[in-house]
Amino acid sequence: MRRRGAPDDDMPESSSPAHGDIPPDGDGDLEVLLAREPGEVTAGLRPVAEVLSALRAAPAPGELTGEDLAMAGFREMAGRARRRARAAADAPRHTVAFRGPRHRRRRRSGLVPGPRLAAAAALAVVALGGVAAYTGSLPTPIQRLAHEVIAAPPAHHVARHHPPPRPLAREATAPAPGHAGPAAPDGRVRHSVSAGSSASSGTPRSELAGLCRALQHARWPGQNGQNGQPGQNGQDRDAYRALVKAAGDIWRVPAYCSALTGQNTWPWDRRTQQHGHGGSGGQWPFPGGYPGGRGGQRAASRS
Amino acid sequence: MVGEDFAGLLAAAQGGSEAAFSVLWRDGNPALLRYLRVIAPEAAEDTAAETWVQVVRGLPRFSGDEAAWRAWLFTIARRRALDQARLRRRHPAEPLEGIQPAEVPRAYDAEQQAMENLATEAAITLVSRLPRQQAEVILLRVVAGLDTEAVAGLLGRSPGAVRVAAHRGLRKLATMLAEAGVTL
């Protein structure tokens, strides 16, 4: 008991086997007394055996008082544990719901996202835009625009392995104020195209509308045999970059242009027909910009 | 001792079963009180109650067999008893302060009482007259049902030291009974 600060006067001074581990002869009987089911002992030890037997006797009634107190403590502990378990079970559900698809769907359908969520959505749109550009989910001119102006590799080339182009993400930043409003209940970003020049790009509206019309009526190699692509020279490239900037990002260009020109008809490349956009022409299925996410991809497939 | 059902009872108690905890309490409390009446005679019941409070708190985290359970139970009881003793030393409230626990239970004639009925109380009284460590070792072996190694772990002593203390205590008991003229 020295380690616990308790009296130690009746313990052997040394606990080494040489001094204390080997009981003296005759201690076998004593060990028998201490066994859980004592056997026969010598006559001299029988009174001791009786004393020890009394120590092992069945509980006296007085030794079972206090059970109520212990049970009350147990009930309290069990109740607390149940409450903790319930709270723990609830807490992750909140977390999962906040991050999970169900939560996102619910937010899209009914709630206006906060600034952080809107920023996250914009980033997701940009990132998904990069991916979808390769898979032909954009109208052909926009896809070409992405490839030529924003230096994204051709769709059929990148679709094999390449990661999304970083330049796209850098160029197609968050929507400019006044050009991309908060997400609508369906999660799409609505454009409000103001008159005059674009606040963000500084390009006159008429010039932007002209660029949009050029895109909407463009004829690409393989479509009616006409040539010509946006951004073939440096001047064009700058103009189309201004258009992308005015729209907010490459994904919003179709919606932006549709709002600007009043037309929502876009030529689609044949390679994109597996997405159901029609043959040589079709409607951009997302009036407010590409919605992003799986739901958007499914919508693209259905349309 | 609970025996084979112990694991199931423990699991049920840890799951919140009052009936299962009641069985564990009814199995453990009498032994606990007998032990505490020797090592903390002034506050055996209080210490036992505090022990169960601690047990209840730690119950969800406990894992082990019945031997481990009893070792845990008596370890808590012992610590609570030591805490109580320290507290009492710092804040003496009764004039019995200077009296050693082993000397407190004074029946009119403990040996004679043990001889007459060998009732549990008398046996506890008799054992409490042993030197404290010998009494404690005997009670942990006999009442708590712990083996030498478990007692050694609980007391922080070597198994050999525990064994020697137990044997010395038993011999002393035999001497006490013989001096009282008890023969069977």
Query: In this predicted structure, which of A50-64, A99-113, B29-43, B128-142 has the lowest mean pLDDT?
Result: A99-113
What is the percentage of chain B residues whose pLDDT exceeds 90?
68
CATH, range B1-98? 1.10.1740.10
Tell me how many degrees the CA angle A186-A187-A188 measures, rounded to the nearest 5: 95
Q: What is the mean pLDDT of residues A224-236?
A: 54
Chain B's closest residue to A25, CA to CA, is B167
For residues A14 and A239, the model is more confident at: A239
- What digits encode the pLDDT tens for the residues A151-204? 554 444 444 444 444 433 333 333 333 344 333 334 344 444 544 455 555 778
The answer to whether residue A107 scores a pLDDT higher than 60 is no
Tell the burial category of A189 from Cβ atoms under 10 Å away from its Cβ (0-12, 13-18, 19+).
buried
For residues A43 and A221, the model is more confident at: A43
Side chain identity, residue B1: M
Nearest CB to A15: which of B26, B157, B173? B157
Nearest CB to A64: which of B29, B115, B160? B29
Tell me how many degrees the CA angle A98-A102-A105 measures, rounded to the nearest 5: 100
User: Minimal CA–CA distance to B58: which of B40, B77, B39?
Assistant: B77
Residue position matching structure tokens 């840890």: B14
B120·A66 Cβ contact <8 A? no
Chain B's closest residue to A12, CA to CA, is B161
CATH 1.10.1740.10 location in chain B: 1-98
| B120 contacts in chain A (CB < 8 Å) | 54-55, 57, 60
pLDDT at A63: 87
Architecture of the domain whose range is B103-184: Orthogonal Bundle (1.10)
Q: Which residues of A119-156 are buried (b: 16+ CB within 10 A; e: fewer)?
A: eebbeebbebbbbbbbbbbbbbbbbbbbbbbbebeebe
B56·A20 Cβ contact <8 A? no
pLDDT band at residue A288, thresholds of 50, 70 and 90?
low
For residues A31 and A105, the model is more confident at: A31
A15·B158 Cβ contact <8 A? yes
Q: What is the mean pLDDT of residues A63-90?
A: 87
Chain B's closest residue to A51, CA to CA, is B123
**CB pairs A-B closer than 8 Å:** 168
pLDDT at A268: 65
CATH 1.10.10.10 location in chain B: 103-184
